[in-house]
Amino acid sequence: MGSKRTTIYVCMGTSCDARKSRRLQEAFSRALKDKGLHDEIDVSATSCLGYCDEGPNILIEPENLMYHNLNEEDVPFFIEEHFIKGNRLENYILAPGNGELKIPDMTDINFFKHQRLVVLRNRGRLEPDSIDEYIAMDGYAALSKVLEEYTPESIIVEIIDSGLRGRGGAGFPTGRKWQICRNAPGNEKYIVCNADEGDPGAFMDRSILESDPHAVIEGMIIGARAIGANQGFVYIRDEYPLAVQRIKKAIQQAEDYGLLGDHILGSDFSFTLKIVRGAGAFVCGEETALLASIEGKVGRPRQRPPFPVIKGLWRKPTNINNVETWANVPHIIRNGAKWFSNIGTAKSKGTKIFSLVGKVTNTGLVEVPMGITLREVIFDIGAGIPGDKKFKAVQIGGPSGGCLPDKMLDIPIDYDQLVQAGAMMGSGGLIVMDETTCMVDLAKYFTKFLYEESCGKCWSCREGLRRMLEILTKITEGKAKEEDLDTLRDLAEMTKYASMCGLGQTAANPVLSTLKYFEKEYILHVRYKRCPAKVCKALINFYVIPERCTGCMRCVAACPTGAITGPRSEPHNIDQSKCIKCRACYEICKFNAIEDVIVDAIVIK
Amino acid sequence: MIKFKLNGLEVQVEEGTTLLEAAHFYGFPVPTLCYHEGLSNWGGCRLCIVELKQGNQSRIVSSCTYLAQNDLNVFTNSEKVVKIRKTIIETMLATVPTSKIVQDLASKYGVHRVRVAVENKDCLLCGLCTRMCIEQMDGKAIGLVGRGDSLKITTAFDKRSDTCRLCGGCIYICPACQIRCIGPNIEKDGPICNACANLEPPCLDQFENMMCYMDPCVACEIGTEKPVKSKL
């Protein structure tokens, strides 16, 4: 937050940090001093702007202009042009996609236009390491409102009225959970923030903790007040060093300001918050395993009931919510339940943050209202699939979510609709896949991930996944028979129904959803020994189609084993005995002259 | 007292009773493998699954870890349960085909084929031996280590445990292998029991006060010319 005429915000999210945004910030400070502009223009570090694909990003306020891809060396020139001469540097202005707008405001950019910011409203506007900036943005106002105007019961009523549901995946109504925990017998109660985000390709919770740690803390204090807990834990994975560092600092600052500790803001309410760092087991995201881990035991789930809200940490009532759920709480209190429940669909209220990754033009962090369709997220915000490739599927809900095909893209994002479609909301990973992804190979990848991350207690989960992996490997190697698909279904059913915890019960989803929507691809693999996406090496043989080949020699240069020969301007030839099926020629050919057997000709009944 | 429906029958049990205990009490057979009366309930083998029905919704839980609650509607042998149970036994049989206990289960539940690759493992990772060691023998010598594909039963740091008194409790209770007593570091530390592995039984000939619970001891019968009665 700048107090000067103009502020340059430099993104300090993990992605931009890795692209040397810190040096960029220093370069700006130096250059401004050199030009004597440092009294007028402020340089400030800020949290993730979400547009991670194009980092390091900078935002110039109050013009609301986003620049990207700036180098340290460009900075003096940039300041000269932009601030002294008043020229907009079009090369660096972020105008993804069509580039129709010559001088786009941040809100004109498609990536930002369709988003609705609630939890991420402070992104790009404040320095995450500063509690003062958070307070200046109405931070902790909800807390003082709660302590002055609300009884614990009325907080719960407010949360129930808002319709907030858990953002960790299952979507249990948050207010009801709080109520059960409040009414559970026992004097000592705990609350826990689950920040053990382990899905491949997901970074929502990390981003919230990195960009707005105080919102999570404020939400937790309010929750503790409502539930009657005096001790809270943030279970955060140690793989997120920046997030750990920021939440640590934020807790320290809140303690210094009297917002945590004894007699918060002069009231009779006391609450302390501790950080527990997780060692990186995916299964510890499951609530009972997480509690075991906090207690110092092996992170292994146990039977529910008793649910943690009745008997949790050290057998005391414990309320566990996800980072995003906690971060929603202050906004609901400040703006009212009605405001919140106006966003979203009938049964799913508010907004949801997704990390949009994979084969999509604009990758990054997006916050959208519930009820938006997947098509809008992928094609309007994400600007579709790069290149001339076709959309194939989107994996929603992390490794144990499901893969939805093109025809399911128009369903609104909503807890119940997604479950009906065979996927789940999960914590909010969206992995987009184009036609070059083999669905069997994908199911194999996720099954392997889950097998390695399963705690191994239940036979159905551990062995079910191992046997499924065995069959999937056989399929991708072309050794499977058609009966194996039935076995695969039986194993998936066993894993889904017989396992104890949420991990096992959803672990078959990658297999089940790909079998449901992409059965044709399985049959092509099994019956015809072909991989239409040309991924499974054992099932592909690349040939040159002589009519299309212009003899440009590009593939000859690309081939690492020298399998392709042929004089210039004449059709080339691939020596199958030397070919290692690395796809280099296939991907480099501009004329589609390198092909496997054309699978479209195969008709499956 | 807790009242609920078990296979359509109105039953009542005391609070704290598991569904498995209730089913056994009322005479409904529920197969088990990792369950033992003298040990804590684990819920790892999933053979004791039962179906809980409520309206159109149904849920499958392991009966050995699920406490009886009022108004439950439990089915110990529904179609879904039987089908899944058969898949479980089938995969068990493929993994440890030599286990007598698993063979008996397969025969009892009509599992006549194995559709997945047959292996010759000697451990189901059911955790019976670790619980036996910790809870009954006060040994705390072995435990489950790792997760997922690296899950195994071993001593701390794979070293011969000082707390292991060679009591043989783990061998006694093992449903599959009866050789977990080899110990993790046989070359260096020497055998703990080692019976089945090298067919030379560590009987009284070699160890003073050795207690072997194998009955009959396969190793004794095959391995030596002069069978030694190994049971004290």
pLDDT for position B152: 87
Residue-level pLDDT at A387? 81
Are residues B199 and B148 located together in one domain of the fold?
yes
Residues of A within 8 A of B42 (CB-CB) are: 457
Q: What is the pLDDT of residues B21-38, one digit of tens each?
A: 999 999 999 999 999 999
Q: B189 vs B152, which has greater pLDDT?
A: B152
Answer for the pair A457, A300: CB distance below 8 angstroms, yes or no.
Answer: yes
Helix (H) or strand (E) holding A29: helix A21-35
B188 shares a domain with B104: no
Nearest one of A297, A299, A295 to A316, comparing CA atoms: A295
Contact B88 A498 (CB under 8 A): yes
Instruction: Sort A11 into a burial class: Cβ within 10 Å, 0-12 / 13-18 / 19+.
Output: buried
Highest averaged pLDDT of the listed ranges A600-604, B95-99, B204-208: B95-99
Per-residue confidence (pLDDT) for residue A425, from 0 to 100? 82
What pLDDT is recorded for position B218? 46
Q: Do B146 and A456 touch (CB under 8 A)?
A: yes
The answer to the question of residue B154 being in a domain is yes
Nearest to A467 among B67, B83, B91 (CB): B91
Tell me, yes or no, whether B219 and B133 share the same domain: yes
Q: What is the pLDDT of residue B91?
A: 94
Handedness of CA A399, A403, A409, A415 (dihedral sign): negative
Answer whether B69 sits within 8 Å of A305, measured CB to CB: yes
Does a structural domain hold residue B189?
yes
Residue B42 tokens read as 């684990």
Q: Give the model's pLDDT for residue B198.
A: 37
Q: Over range A141-158, report the average pLDDT.
A: 91
Same domain, B113 and B139: no
The superfamily CATH assigns to domain A131-341 is: NADH-ubiquinone oxidoreductase 51kDa subunit (3.40.50.11540)
Q: Is A462 on the interface with B (CB under 8 A)?
A: yes
CA distance A276 to chain B (A): 21
Going through A324-454 in order, the beta strands assigned E by DSSP cover 351-358, 364-369, 391-396, 402-405, 429-434
The answer to whether B146 faces chain A, any CB pair under 8 Å, is yes
CATH for the A541-601 domain, from 3.30.70.20, 3.40.50.10470, 1.20.1250.20, 3.40.50.1110 = 3.30.70.20
Distance separating alpha carbons of residues B150 and B107, to the nearest angstrom: 31
Q: Which residue has the higher pLDDT, A64 or B137?
A: B137
Q: Which of B94, B121, B148 is the last residue of a domain?
A: B121
Domain range summary for chain A, segments of one domain joined by +? 6-113, 131-341, 351-434, 439-526, 541-601
Selected residues 26-45 of chain B with any CB under 8 Å from a CB in chain A: 42-45
Q: What is the pLDDT of residue A442?
A: 92
| Tokens read off for B155 | 């001593």
State the pLDDT at residue A599. 58
Nearest CA in chain B to A305: B66
CB contact under 8 A, B115 and A302: no
Distance to chain A for B126, nearest Cα, Å: 8
Predicted local distance difference test score (pLDDT) of residue A3: 63
In a domain, B230, yes or no: no
Task: Verify that B47 and B101 share a domain, yes or no.
Answer: no
Contact B65 A500 (CB under 8 A): yes
Minimum Cα–Cα distance from B118: chain A residue: A467
Chain A contacts of B126, Cβ < 8 Å? Answer: 459
Q: Is A455 on the interface with B (CB under 8 A)?
A: yes
Indicate if the pLDDT at residue A300 is higher than 80.
Answer: yes
Asked if residue A458 lies in contact with residue A436, where contact means CB atoms within 8 angstroms, the answer is no
- Verify that B138 and B200 share a domain, yes or no: yes
Predicted confidence (pLDDT) at residue B168 exceeds the cutoff of 80: no
Question: Under an 8 A CB cutoff, do B42 and A497 touch?
Answer: no
Please tell me if residue B15 touches chain A, with a CB cutoff of 8 Å: no
Q: Is residue B228 part of a domain?
A: no
Binned at pLDDT 50, 70 and 90, residue B215 comes out as very low
Q: pLDDT grade, residue A439 (50/70/90)?
A: very high
A302 chain-B contacts, CB cut-off 8 A: 65
Min Cα distance B45 → chain A (Å) is 5
Residue with tokens 């249990």: A172
Average pLDDT over residues A463-477: 94
What's the CATH number where B175 sits? 3.30.70
Report the pLDDT averaged over residues A214-242. 92
Let me know: does A10 contact A66? Beta carbons within 8 Å. no
pLDDT level of residue B11 (50, 70, 90 thresholds): very high
The yes-or-no verdict on residue B231 having pLDDT over 50 is no
Give dist(CA B68, CA A370) in Å, integer. 38
Burial A380-419, CB ≥16 within 10 A → b, else e? bbbbbbeeeeebbbbbbbbbbbbbbbeebbebbbbbebbe
CA nearest A462 in B: which residue?
A: B148
Q: What is the pTM of this model?
A: 0.86
Q: Which residue of chain B comes nearest to A451, CA vs CA?
A: B148
**Residue B229 is assigned to a structural domain of this protein:** no
pLDDT tens column, A89-113? 777 776 654 455 555 677 777 777 7
* For range A498-517, the mean pLDDT: 90
User: Containing H/E element for A45?
Assistant: strand A41-46
**464-503 of A, contacting B, C-beta below 8 A:** 464, 466-467, 470-471, 483-484, 487, 490-491, 493-494, 497-500
Does residue B212 surpass a pLDDT of 60? no
Helix axes B79-95, A459-476, angle to 10 degrees: 70
Question: Is omega for the bond preceding A56 within 30 degrees of 0, making it cis?
Answer: yes
B97 lies in the same domain as B167: no
Measured between CA atoms, how close is A71 to chain B, in angstroms? 44
- State the burial class of residue A44 (Cβ atoms within 10 Å of its Cβ: 0-12, 13-18, 19+): buried
- Cα nearest neighbour of A501 on chain B: B61
What residues make up the domain containing B104? 86-121
In Å, how far is B150's CA from the nearest CA of chain A?
8
Structurally, at CATH architecture level, domain A439-526 sits in Up-down Bundle (1.20)
Select the more confidently predicted residue: A312 or A48.
Answer: A312
- Which residues in B lie closer than 8 A to residue A462 (C-beta atoms)? 125, 148, 151
Residue A128 has pLDDT above 50, yes or no: yes
- Tell me, what's the pLDDT at A104? 63
Looking at the structure, do residues B206 and B132 belong to the same domain, yes or no? yes
Same domain, B191 and B105: no
Residue B231 inside a domain? The answer is: no
| Percentage of chain A exceeding pLDDT 90 | 35
pLDDT, residue B211, reads 45
Chain A positions touching B43 (Cβ under 8 A) are: 303, 457-458, 500
DSSP structural state of residue B13: E
Instruction: Name the residue among B62, B69, B92 with its Cβ closest to that of A500.
Output: B62
Q: Is the pLDDT of residue B210 over 50?
A: no
What confidence tier does A400 reach under pLDDT thresholds 50, 70, 90? confident
Q: How close is the nearest chain B Cα to the Cα of A284, in Å?
A: 12
pLDDT tens for each residue of A23-40 = 888 888 888 888 888 788
Report pLDDT for A157.
Answer: 93
CA–CA separation, A265 and A258 (whole Å): 6
Residue in A283, A462, A494 closest to B84 by CB: A494
Cis status of the peptide bond prior to A305, with omega within 30 of 0:
yes
Q: What is the DSSP letter of A525?
A: H
Q: What architecture (CATH level 2) is domain A6-113?
A: 3-Layer(aba) Sandwich (3.40)
Instruction: Tell me, yes or no, whether B27 lies in a domain.
Output: yes
A457 and B66 within 8 Å at the Cβ level: the answer is: no
Residues B132 and B212 both lie in one domain: yes
Q: Do A483 and B60 touch (CB under 8 A)?
A: no
Mean pLDDT (whole number) for A34-48: 83
pLDDT of residue B189: 54
Same domain, B140 and B204: yes
Query: pLDDT tens for residues A236-293?
Result: 999 888 899 999 999 999 999 999 999 998 889 999 999 999 888 889 988 999 999 9
Q: What digits encode the pLDDT tens for the residues A531-566?
A: 888 888 888 888 888 888 888 888 888 889 888 888
Kindly report the number of other CB atoms within 10 A of residue A213's CB atom: 28
Q: How far apart are CA A488 and CA A515, in angstroms?
A: 9
Mutate to test the interface with A, among B96, B115, B131, B145 (most CBs of A within 10 A): B115
Express as a percent the part of chain B with pLDDT over 70: 76
- A313: tokens are 């940490």
Tell me if A498 sits within 8 A of A492, measured CB to CB. Answer: no
Q: Out of A302, A487, A493, whose CB is closest to B84?
A: A493
A302 touches chain B (CB under 8 A): yes
CA distance A233 to A193: 6
Chain A residues with CB-CB distance to B117 below 8 A: 470
**A505 near B CB under 8 A:** no
d(CA A281, CA A278): 7
**A583 closest CA partner among A407, A399, A438:** A438
Pick the CATH number of A351-434 from 3.40.50.2300, 3.30.1330.40, 1.10.1530.10, 3.10.20.600: 3.10.20.600
pLDDT digits (tens, 9 = 90+) for A160-202: 999 999 888 778 999 999 999 999 998 899 999 999 888 888 8
What pLDDT does B202 receive? 46
CB pairs under 8 A between A and B: 97
pLDDT, greater one: A48 or A367: A367
Is residue A454 less than 8 Å (CB to CB) from chain B? yes
A124 Rama sector, left if φ>0, alpha if ψ -120 to 50, beta otherwise? left
Quote the mean pLDDT of chain A: 87
- Looking at residue A528, its pLDDT comes to 87
CB of A444 less than 8 A from some CB of B:
no
Token couple for A272:
């302390």
The structural domain count of chain B equals 3
DSSP category for residue B136: I
pLDDT value for A326: 94
**Closest residue in chain A to residue B88, using alpha carbons only:** A460
In a domain, B232, yes or no: no
pLDDT above 70 for B206 = no
Tell me the C-alpha distance between A510 and A443, whole Å.
Answer: 5
CATH code for the domain of B44: 3.10.20.740
Most confident stretch, A405-419, A474-488, A534-548: A474-488
* Record: contact A500-B43, CB cut-off 8 A: yes
Mean pLDDT for the stretch of residues A44-55: 79
B68 and B7, same domain (yes or no): yes
* pLDDT, tens digit (0-9, with 9 covering 90-100), for B183-204: 555 566 554 443 344 334 444 4
Optimal mutation site among B70, B149, B150, B151, interface A, most CBs of chain A within 10 A: B149
